[in-house]
Amino acid sequence: MSKDKIDVKDVTPKEFNPKTHKTSGDRFNPGNRIYVRAMTGVFQKLRQKMGWFFMLLFVLTPWIPYGDRQAILIDIGKQQFNFFGTTLWPQDLTLLATLFMIAAFGLFFITTFLGRVWCGYLCPQTVWTFIYIWFEEKLEGPANKRKKQDSLPITKELFLRKTAKHICWFAVALLTGLTFVGYFVPVKELFIDFFTFNSSFWVAFWVLFFSVCTYGNAGWMRSIMCIHMCPYARFQSAMFDKDTFIVGYDTQRGEKRGPRSRKVDPKEKGLGDCIDCNLCVQVCPTGIDIRDGLQYECINCGACIDACDETMSKMNYAKGLISYTTEHKLEGHKVDIVRPKLIGYGIVMVAMLGLFVMLFSAVQPMGLDVIRDRTQLFKTNSDGLIENTYTLKILNKTQSPETYSITVKGLDGVEWYGKQEVTLTAGEIFTLPISLGVDPYELSTPVANITFVLERQSGDDKKIIETESRFISKM
């Protein structure tokens, strides 16, 4: 009978503590605000350094110059993606799709291997929330003080401190909005136009939109965003297995938990190493108790590890009661680092990376579209030649002026009516109407396949691209 049943894991806490345990409904209630206690330690120092680095990288990148423009600019108006010396156009969107797939499988690989380290260390929601809490700590005091102040009638001093905090919050939010839009609009002109009230309606709208979103998400929603709104928190369970690194509590070592003096041997009292100080709960940004077991709300930030290690050091106990571990290790089994799921994600990621390199190396610095005149299949001109009309759209994808020559192959004795050499400025799209005339006695079929050849004349590296079309004559 038992073999036919589904294996169910009981994650009910062994001891229910109403002071620390919160139901999902309680967490969503804005009245139950989480006051995150500041904590220093190995992992929190790493989080701080990575967070500030990520923030500075995000803010400073649009200001990196390259020639007469910024190095990275997604110009929607001109339909160009400029990345230093490379310019990508809508025709190159397969590159962007491939890049997104690489990022997705990279995230799957990291999640399967290391759990939600992205959430804990580099997710923008986590980084900006950390920055907002930093201002909160500096202006209003530590978590216990803030909690007590908020339960009492507001004073003039507290009002001024909160006002200063919200000014700092909105300044960071506005900087975030301007910086984000600065990846799509030249950033220097953006800042000048915005603060002189000369920016267009839509530019100003998107700056304020992203500013309000940042202010609301990092200042007010915080853990609600991670727990209830982020889809990654929901589908991560499909990628986890028992060898995924998680933040785990060693139940065998920690239970039975309870307070005690440093001088008392816990074994004599029948206690484990956990002194039930609740610091692991107080420092958790999502307000969970890691001692209740693995929970989808955990973002693997390691704050509870630093808090517990500090307590263990004060009690002269061994560190690692809470640590980065795996379910198999907690159960006393062997940890299998290399496993089929991880190998599969790795192979797909490497394959997609190879495809991206191949597609990127095949990107041409120019483009040619041929549009045949559909209003008139053909005509006979004054010289007695069968004439077809075409519109050529020539695109200069480079960031410098280029000269191109255009020829056609596939027809004998063809007469070309129109320009055969053009010079285009950087990023220019040139429309060239031309006609081809052929002696009817040279045509062996009513529909001939022809090829237009575009050749770059300037520079040492001459590039050639070909585009096929048709020449139609009398049936």
Superfamily of domain 366-472: Immunoglobulins (2.60.40.10)
**Residue 10 binned pLDDT confidence (cut-offs 50, 70, 90):** low
Q: Is 255 helix (H, G, I), strand (E, B) or coil?
A: coil
Is the per-residue pLDDT at 25 higher than 60? no
Mean pLDDT over 331-342 rounds to: 88
Instruction: Give the integer Cα–Cα distance in Å for 146 and 37.
Output: 10
Is the per-residue pLDDT at 178 higher than 90? yes
- pLDDT mean across residues, the chain: 88
**CA distances from residue 230 to 24, 74, 100 in whole angstroms, order as listed:** 15, 26, 18
pLDDT of residue 27: 46
**Residue 399 binned pLDDT confidence (cut-offs 50, 70, 90):** confident
Q: Is 299 helix (H, G, I), strand (E, B) or coil?
A: coil
Which of 200-209, 220-229, 420-429 is predicted least confidently?
220-229
* Residue 24 or 376, more confident: 376
Stretch(es) of the chain classified as CATH 2.60.40.10: 366-472
Neighbours of 464 (CB within 10 A): 12
Beta bridge mates, 258: none
**Residue 268 binned pLDDT confidence (cut-offs 50, 70, 90):** confident
pLDDT of residue 29: 54
pLDDT of residue 4: 54
Is the per-residue pLDDT at 28 higher than 50? no
Is the per-residue pLDDT at 454 higher than 60? yes
- Structure confidence by residue, pLDDT tens digits, 305-320: 999 999 999 999 999 9
User: Using CB atoms within 10 A of its CB, is residue 156 exposed (0-12), middle (13-18) or buried (19+)?
Assistant: exposed
Is the per-residue pLDDT at 194 higher than 50? yes
Instruction: Give the integer Cα–Cα distance in Å for 149 and 315.
Output: 31
**Helical axes 42-60 vs 156-181, angle rounded to 10°:** 50
Q: Is 470 helix (H, G, I), strand (E, B) or coil?
A: strand
- Structure confidence by residue, pLDDT tens digits, 113-141: 998 899 999 999 999 999 999 999 999 99
- Dihedral sign of CA atoms 310, 311, 317, 321 in order: negative
Is the per-residue pLDDT at 192 higher than 90? yes
Beta bridge mates, 224: none
Q: Is 407 helix (H, G, I), strand (E, B) or coil?
A: strand
pLDDT of residue 19: 46
pLDDT of residue 160: 96
Residue 375, token pair as written in the block? 């209003």
Residue 105's closest CA among 297, 314, 348, 295?
Answer: 348
CB within 8 Å of 315: residues ≥ 6 apart? 262, 273, 275
Q: Are 246 and 298 in contact (CB under 8 A)?
A: yes
Mean pLDDT over 404-425 rounds to: 92
- Alpha carbon 406 to its chain centroid, in Å, reads 42
b or e along 72-93 (b: 16 or more beta carbons within 10 Å of the residue's beta carbon)? bbebeeeebbbeeeebbbeebe
> CA neighbours within 13 Å on the CB side: how many for 103?
7
pLDDT of residue 26: 42
pLDDT of residue 16: 46
Which of 8-22, 89-103, 161-175 is predicted least confidently?
8-22
